[in-house]
Amino acid sequence: MIEQHAEVTFNDRVAADTYLMGLKSPDIAARAHPGQFVMIRVGAQADPLLRRPFSICGVRKDGGLLILYRVVGRGTRIMAGAGPGTGFDVLGPLGNGFDFPAQPGESLLVAGGMGIAPLSFLAQRTGQEVQILTGYACADQQIPFECLGLSHCAVLVATEDGTIGHHGRVTDLLQESGNHIPHGYAQVYACGPIPMLMAVADLTLRQGIACQVSLESTMACGLGACQGCAVPAAPGSDRRYYHVCQDGPVFEVGTLDWEQLQPHVP
């Protein structure tokens, strides 16, 4: 875990309101594991005050750290305006990443929107030709696979408005062959909006397929110190809440209380 001032090497618009940023952060990049995240301080002023959490979307050999982000509010708007040479304070890598897949061909990656960020890092690191299902609201939000270094993977796309790929949700792709995860997959990795994760959790729990999800939560410290990022633990756990920054952001589906999870990060 490191805190360092990192220079933006590039910051390219890769889809509607979506940017891929390269940060020169060799020390964080060297330690990064797929599923881990960083906290970025978006400016030197006291407003916006808190750091913003972002999954690590990949690392480059030259020490580059990749962040894929969508502009949703003030912090990400400031980030989108940052040209090469701008500096940001970056804290990471934080949290626990994904457990890697055991057998080639057995992992299925399910990404809703920006959920592709940690999953593409995972896909790269496995080195395997994994199957990735991605979902977007519409075609112009789709991130070109080349940007993400996913050319070695099989990627299927769904859009909610049908402008590209399957017309519907990414979870439809899962359920195509009847309402279950297609045969042969022993491990699902998912990241995306809570309603999507709920659907995935439901399927995998029912079928008894191992599944790890990466969650979001508002955060202050990112270090397990403030107890701010609580998510409800499954009934019967030894604790009432887990902390996304420390116990996650990657969780086994069975450890969470899906009924109590807030569907909406304001």
Ligand X SMILES: Cc1cc2nc3c(=O)[nH]c(=O)nc-3n(C[C@H](O)[C@H](O)[C@H](O)COP(=O)(O)OP(=O)(O)OC[C@H]3O[C@@H](n4cnc5c(N)ncnc54)[C@H](O)[C@@H]3O)c2cc1C
Ligand Y SMILES: Cc1cc2nc3c(=O)[nH]c(=O)nc-3n(C[C@H](O)[C@H](O)[C@H](O)COP(=O)(O)O)c2cc1C
Give the separation between CA 235 and CA 255, rounded to whole angstroms.
9
Q: Which of residues 179-238 bind a second copy (CB under 8 A)?
A: none
The yes or no reply on residue 87 touching a second copy (CB under 8 A) is no
Tell me the C-alpha distance between 170 and 176, whole Å.
Answer: 10
* Residue 224 binds which entry of ligand Y, ligand X, ligand FES, none, CB below 5-8 Å type-dependent: ligand FES
Interacting residues of 29 by C-beta distance below 8 A, sequence separation 6+: 59, 60, 63, 64, 65
Of 100 and 241, CB closest to another protein: 241
Among 2, 4, 27, 48, the residue binding a second copy under the rule CB under 8 A is 48
The nearest distance, CB 166 to another protein, in angstroms, is 28
Q: Which stretch binds another protein (CB under 8 A): 140-148, 161-169, 193-201, 239-247?
A: 239-247
Q: How many residues does the chain have?
A: 266
Work out how close the CB of 32 gets to ligand FES at its nearest, in angstroms, rounded to a whole number: 19
Q: Is 249 in the site for ligand X (CB under 6 A)?
A: yes
- For residue 67, give the 3-state DSSP assignment: strand
Distance between CA 171 and CA 151 in Å, rounded? 22
> Roughly how many angstroms between the first and final C-alpha of the chain, as a whole number?
28
Which residues of this chain interact with ligand X, rule CB under 6 A? 37, 48, 50, 52-55, 68-70, 72-76, 114, 117, 216-219, 249, 265
